[in-house]
Every structure is written in C-alpha cells, then in structure tokens.
Amino acid sequence: MFNVLGKRIKIIQLRQICLDETLNIFCEISCVRIVSKGLEIDLSAVIGVAGETVWTATETFFYRGNFGEPDTNAENTAFESIPEAKVIARWFLPGGNGFRFARISGDGNGIHYSKLYARFFGFERDFAQPFLILGNAINHLMDNGNINAISLDVAFKGQFYYKRNVTIKGVKTNGSHRFNIYSEGNDRPCVIGILNE
C-alpha cells in the first residue's frame, strides 16, 4: 500500500451515531478509472443502524503508472476558487506525531515519521498524515460542536511538513464552509474542501 495515495474523500453523516448502537458496515470498490497518470479506485462504505443508513463515505485512491488509455468520462470535479478567503485558524505542527498517529490510522508509511525515509522518496522531510490535519481543521470549522447531519468533500493536494505552521482559510455562506488548508512555505493549498452543516 506504500505506492497508493489518498486523493479525495466524500463523507455524509446523516445523523449522530450513538456509542451504544450496533453498526452494520458495508464496503466495496465502487468505481475504477484509468486517468492520464495512473489508476483511480473508489472505495465506498455505508454504515447502517437497524436498517437505517447513518453514514456514507467514498475515498478515492490513486496508483501511479500506465494502465492504458484514460477513460474519457473520468470525473474531475473542481472546487470553486476562494480569493476572498479569510484566515480561520493557524497552528504549529510539531514533529514526532507520525508514528503515534499511524498506530491509530493504520497509515504506517515511513514518510510520515522518518525524515530520512521521506527524503529518500524526494520529499523535503517527513510529513503528517492528511487525516491528522483534516481532523484538527474540522474542529475549527464546525459551529457549536454540531455533530448531527453534515457532509464533507475534500481533495488532498500536497504535504504538511512537520515543524511548520498550518493555516486554514475559507469563507462561509448559508451553513457551508468552502476552505483551503495551507502548509507554511507552500503558496498552494495542500487540502481543499467544502463542509456543509
């Protein structure tokens, strides 16, 4: 799995899931697309409680390589630009969290906790798993701890190197947050997304 990149995730939470509820989880590969630089695979999950769907998620993974002619109908959904975005939050990303987060997330790739290993693959240094950053960002974006019905659509674009500042910029209109997350030293967003409450 070390040659696989998470490219995008879409999550819909239809209602809050209670701690004592028994969950039924169904996962499948829902789509495979040949794109210009590789292969995209969508892994979809549906979580239900007593026959009621309470959560759906689709994560798109990218495998680099030549798999043939690109599909002409391959989805390439772009997010609107947000030039008027304001800073929502900023925090320092300390080093040394990668291995601990790998134990929770299952993403144990050495690029997330070994500077030398990451440099071997052409990166500046080790960098955070995207979900570590995304989880913190959502805490800053959510209003009043609302954990009922929400949807999240995110594209992963770059690395969050340790020992740098992370900045969220965004705009909110009618309960919808369009946001970008930046890593210090990179003018382009490393994560772009929209959160609807």
Q: What are the backbone angles phi and psi of residue 105, rounded to the nearest 5°? A: -85, -20
Distance separating alpha carbons of residues 161 and 183, to the nearest angstrom: 7
In 3D space, the residue among 110, 87, 88 whose CA is nearest the CA of residue 98 turns out to be 110
User: What is this structure's pTM?
Assistant: 0.85
In 3D space, the residue among 190, 183, 178, 106 whose CA is nearest the CA of residue 141 turns out to be 178
Provide the CATH number for the domain formed by 78-197 in this structure: 3.10.129.10
Listed by start position, the domains of the chain span: 1-76, 78-197
CATH superfamily of the domain spanning 1-76: Hotdog Thioesterase (3.10.129.10)
In 3D space, the residue among 142, 130, 140 whose CA is nearest the CA of residue 183 turns out to be 130
pLDDT score for 55: 96
Domains 1-76 and 78-197 share a fold: yes
Chunk the chain into consecutive blocks of 10 residues (it has 197) and report each block's average pLDDT, rounded to whole numbers. 80 93 96 92 97 96 90 71 89 79 66 76 83 88 68 92 94 88 94 91
